[in-house]
Structure 1
Amino acid sequence: MLIKTRGIVLNYLKYRETSIIARVYTEQRGVQSYIVNGVRKAKPPGRIALFQPFTLLDLVAYVSPRGGLTRLSEFRCLRPFRTIPYDMRKSSVVLFLSEVVSRVLREEEENAALFEYLYHALVAFDEQEEGFENFALVFLLHLSHYLGFGPDSGRQITEQVAFATDANLPATSRPTVLRFQEFEHFFDELLRDEGPASVPNGRVRRELLTILLRYYQLHVENMGDVRSLDVLSDVLAEL
């Protein structure tokens, strides 16, 4: 059976000499893995670019009643990005966020609201000319609500992370609790999303992302470390 669906590329692995196994978050089937033949051939050029992280695709895909790997019958770019591939700051943010999303999205079932959020957030990010310094933070805060553990306040984030980090220390000697409290008001501003937050520099953004990733790790089993945060940190230092 064939289905037609929109998809958001999460990542891919090389497969045999010229093919890949692409992991895609689809509108109709949730997370799916597809064998895509021949996209690493020299001719026609450029087809592998369609499977870079967060590329928006129109797909015609085979569906197996047994699940598992299937193949794509057709694929094309649904909406080419205008700025993300050509702006190192934006492409670094996308690399980081795609790694996070690929680690937290695992369900093979439809979630139309989540798909629409991801799709429209990426389109808006691509169109944004300036003031996108906090996009990764806002994106992850909103995503957490779709995943079922969205915080109501900055205090909820910092307390959970601080006490989990210092779980083996007595209650009277938790230095990170006070340290993390310094960041509560930034999370509160970002959660309200009423305008640009007053995050002063890239160093603080790195701290906020580190805390937020730890919050995710408390709620997503076996999430693991996000390696691309180190890459993004160099870019954040300039924002």
Structure 2
Amino acid sequence: MELQPIIKWAGGKRWLVRKGSELFPTEFENYIEPFLGGAAVYFHLKPERALLSDVNAELINVYVAVKQDWSKVVSLLREHQRMHSTEHYYKVRDQRPHTIYTMAARTLYLNRTCWNGLYRVNLKGNFNVPIGTKNNILLDIDSFADISNLFENTKFVVSDFEPIIDQAQAGDFVFVDPPYTVKHNYNGFIKYNENLFRWEDQVRLKDAVVRATARGAKVLVLNANHESIKSLYAGFEQVTLSRSNVLAGKSEFRGVYQELAIKCW
């Protein structure tokens, strides 16, 4: 069964699972993903053991809550479904729940009913996306029970990418999908993140990837198809991929974009 992501995230890799699954190794020990987001690749591979992280604590909390007690999360989502309205949306958006389950249900509710499933916060860290047009909070494709079972041998961590990649050992598979910062250019994906991802972070990421491959890990990096990235990862196999971008609010910014897959093994 193909498990579907439970949360929509900017730069999600559902398209990669559909079009580029041949890029993934067929055998590996532990699966490691330091920029988790919607976790499309993880749900596709369904690894027996995994270490998953992201700097976004609210995102990681969703997965931890589902792992610990998915039924509590679903029960709270049913209540949001019953109450859903424009008034309820903005009331929930202004709330600050105190338990992992109410926080997770709030995140999922807002993600599924806000404009285009976009996660965006202001400078104070407050979620500020307006309500969208979708009204379904619980979906037919949801498999919370199966996902919770998959999470049994998965560890979730709120962390910078470097210490996570540094845990990769021989035979492990690391999937790396950072914000697409390029040299001398402000990339659109950065503005969806509370913390800016700088070019210096791209260099630090490449160094962590090189260290991991030296230990025998298999690393697949998805990044911008840009000369600065190609030069940064010179010496590794590079494959150009195409994807569609439907997240942009204005039609002139939508279309087909190219990304770079870098195989480091």
Which interval holds the TM-score relative to the shorter structure? under 0.3
The structure number with the bigger radius of gyration is 1
Length-normalised TM-score, structure 2: 0.25
Higher relative contact order (CA 8 A, sep 6+): 2
